[in-house]
Amino acid sequence: MHFFNPLFYLVVFLVLLYFPVAIFQLILIIKGWTKGEDRLFTRLKWQEQKHVVTTPILMQREYISRRRVMAVICTNGKNPKVVDKITTILKSYSTPLEVYVLKEEYDTHHYLAEEITVPSSYTCPNGSRHKLRALDYESKWLREKGISSETYLIHLDDDSVVSEEYVQYVYRMTEEGGQGHLRLREPGVHLFSTLADMTRVSDCAAFCTYFNKKGRPMAVHGEGLVIRADVEEQIGWDFGTYGADDIIMSQLIVKNGYRFGYIPFPIFIAPPTTVRDFYKQRRRWIVSMLWASTYIKKINRKMFYWLIYRYAVGWTGFFGVFLLIPSILFHFHFPLFLSVISGINTFCYFVFYQYGAIKTGKKWSPIMLALQFFIAIYEGGTLFYSLIYPPDKNVFDVITKV
């Protein structure tokens, strides 16, 4: 008679809810590992060891004449030492790269790069604040300086940095917008946050890569977002939202008839350094998307529901393991098909987490294996935290960077 028990239906619902995304992400990870960027980088690493000098097919195109590439690091002034460290790395590249720091007028630190200072009096017509306000000013500042279609912008947060190959690829790309894949730098400062951020590596390798290759940016992050300067100025950043700027901008690039592509090189990000920072960061992402839901749905309704689905089910892959608990305690006898689906879910869930751990470093694989269930709960808790304790709209959550 367990078919009339609500707990039974809850278990069935959660198991079936995760199944589509489990299969999809498994296929994408296997495809990427065997045919995509992982295969390319493994081959290049082997060739370096053999002292064989080759040019990857992806890099055989010549630089497009008169093109300029600018890295724009947006900061709120709370992490000046980290910004200077990122700037030093970018300026060490042999590939030409103009580095700018976008900062507020109250920020008195003198950065190791050209500065774009947002006047305290600057306001946006749609009332955009915080990072959106700064980016909107930057797009207008570039126009006043005569920087337009010959220039590509690489947007960075004040804890992220791209590889030199990333910059080289931007010199050759033909799309008006694009983005690469995430990797972790400075892992291990906070163990649980590091392990949880490895799911961002897996998620990006699967979904960002897949959709960006198709020119449909359904999964986008702010770090490493590349936009041609005149396209950015045309669209602007004055969305009037609390956040979700990366999602909205990437969609508007396509909606306005421009192309969005995949950059097959890494963007390095640093995990949060405390539990509080991790939860504040995730809360900002989740709530900003919900608060901007009306705006996002007008642009691409399917993308909005896809993102909500991913946030809702991403942490539930382990739930099938707990089929054993109601089976023992309540003498439930689950149908064979449900047990099979649960087993597949669990397998896909482990592969997803292990992929991010291995890409960060093989030493992380056994640590992730031991703590994987706890990490899923740790990460899943951010969803409930965001809904119970939403942020103040007048304050943009700031976290410590390394």
The answer to whether the CB of 351 falls within 8 A of the CB of 193 is no
| Amino acid 196: pLDDT | 95
Kindly state whether residue 181 falls inside one of the protein's structural domains: yes
| Amino acid 5: pLDDT | 67
Residues 366, 286 share a domain? no
| Amino acid 365: pLDDT | 96
For the ranges 61-65, 83-87, 297-301, 359-363, which has the lowest average pLDDT? 61-65
The predicted-structure confidence for 245-271, as pLDDT tens digits, reads as follows: 999 999 999 999 999 999 999 999 999
6 CB-contact burial (10 Å; exposed 0-12 / middle 13-18 / buried 19+): exposed
Residues 222, 145 share a domain? yes
Q: Which carries the bigger pLDDT value, residue 137 or residue 53?
A: 137
Kindly state whether residue 147 falls inside one of the protein's structural domains: yes
The H or E element containing residue 109 is none
Kindly state whether residue 365 falls inside one of the protein's structural domains: yes
φ/ψ (deg, to 5) at 397: -55, 130
Kindly state whether residue 359 falls inside one of the protein's structural domains: yes
Residues 160, 31 share a domain? no
Residue 402 and residue 399: Cα distance in Å, rounded? Answer: 10
Residue 329, pLDDT > 70, answer no
Residue 96 and residue 385: Cα distance in Å, rounded? Answer: 44
Residues 286, 262 share a domain? yes
Residue 378, pLDDT > 70, answer yes
Calculate the average pLDDT of the chain.
Answer: 87
| Amino acid 56: pLDDT | 47
Residue 379 and residue 374: Cα distance in Å, rounded? Answer: 9
Residues 239, 180 share a domain? yes
Last residue of a domain, one of 270, 300, 330: 300
Kindly state whether residue 393 falls inside one of the protein's structural domains: no
Among 296, 292, 293, 269, which Cα is nearest to 281's?
269
Residues 284, 186 share a domain? yes
Residues 279, 338 share a domain? no
Which residues, at least 6 apart from 86, have a Cβ–Cβ distance to it below 8 Å?
73, 156, 158, 159, 160, 161
Last residue of a domain, one of 300, 322, 348: 300
Residue 303, pLDDT > 70, answer yes
Place of tokens 């995304």: 21
| Amino acid 225: pLDDT | 97
The predicted-structure confidence for 138-176, as pLDDT tens digits, reads as follows: 999 999 999 889 999 999 999 999 999 999 999 999 999
The model's confidence at residue 40, banded by pLDDT at 50, 70 and 90, is very low
**Which string of b and e fits 151-184 if b means at least 16 CB within 10 Å?**
bbbbbbbbbbbbbebbbbbbbebebbbbbbbbbb
The predicted-structure confidence for 208-235, as pLDDT tens digits, reads as follows: 999 999 999 998 998 999 999 999 999 9
Which residues, at least 6 apart from 207, have a Cβ–Cβ distance to it below 8 Å?
25, 28, 218, 219, 310
| Amino acid 342: pLDDT | 84
| Amino acid 17: pLDDT | 87
Residue 384 and residue 389: Cα distance in Å, rounded? Answer: 8
Residue 35 and residue 58: Cα distance in Å, rounded? Answer: 14
Place of tokens 């103040």: 392
Residues 379, 294 share a domain? no
Kindly state whether residue 381 falls inside one of the protein's structural domains: yes
Average pLDDT over residues 271-299: 93
Average pLDDT over residues 347-366: 93
Q: Where does 334-392 have alpha helices with state H? A: 336-360, 364-388
Total tally of structural domains belonging to the chain: 2
- For residue 153, give the 3-state DSSP assignment: strand
Q: Which carries the bigger pLDDT value, residue 86 or residue 313?
A: 86
**CATH code of 69's domain:** 3.90.550.10
Q: Which long-range contacts (CB under 8 A, 24 or more apart) does 374-380 make?
A: 374/192, 375/192, 375/195, 375/196, 375/199, 376/315, 376/316, 376/317, 376/318, 376/349, 377/315, 378/192, 378/196, 379/196, 379/199, 379/282, 379/314, 379/315, 380/314, 380/315, 380/316
Residue 61, pLDDT > 80, answer no
Residues 281, 133 share a domain? yes
Question: 85: which 2 tokens?
Answer: 């460290």
Residue 24, pLDDT > 90, answer yes
Residue 52, pLDDT > 70, answer no
Residues 108, 14 share a domain? no
Residue 330, pLDDT > 70, answer no
Average pLDDT over residues 51-65: 52
Among 314, 347, 300, 362, which Cα is nearest to 207's?
314
Q: Which domain holds residue 26?
A: 2-35+308-388
As beta bridge partners, residue 267 has: 162, 182
The model's confidence at residue 328, banded by pLDDT at 50, 70 and 90, is low
As beta bridge partners, residue 117 has: 103
Q: Where does 256-292 have alpha helices with state H? A: 275-291
Among 247, 230, 259, 271, which Cα is nearest to 400's?
271
Residue 253 and residue 238: Cα distance in Å, rounded? Answer: 14
For the ranges 40-44, 105-109, 254-258, which has the lowest average pLDDT? 40-44
Residue 187, pLDDT > 50, answer yes
Last residue of a domain, one of 250, 274, 300: 300
| Amino acid 53: pLDDT | 35
Residues 296, 323 share a domain? no
The model's confidence at residue 331, banded by pLDDT at 50, 70 and 90, is low
Packing angle of the helix pair 6-35, 336-360 (nearest 10 deg): 40
Residue 43, pLDDT > 50, answer no
CA 232 and chain centroid, separation: 19
The predicted-structure confidence for 26-38, as pLDDT tens digits, reads as follows: 999 988 777 655 4
| Amino acid 35: pLDDT | 63
Residues 201, 102 share a domain? yes
Kindly state whether residue 167 falls inside one of the protein's structural domains: yes
The answer to whether the CB of 61 falls within 8 A of the CB of 33 is no
Kindly state whether residue 52 falls inside one of the protein's structural domains: no
The answer to whether the CB of 117 falls within 8 A of the CB of 105 is yes
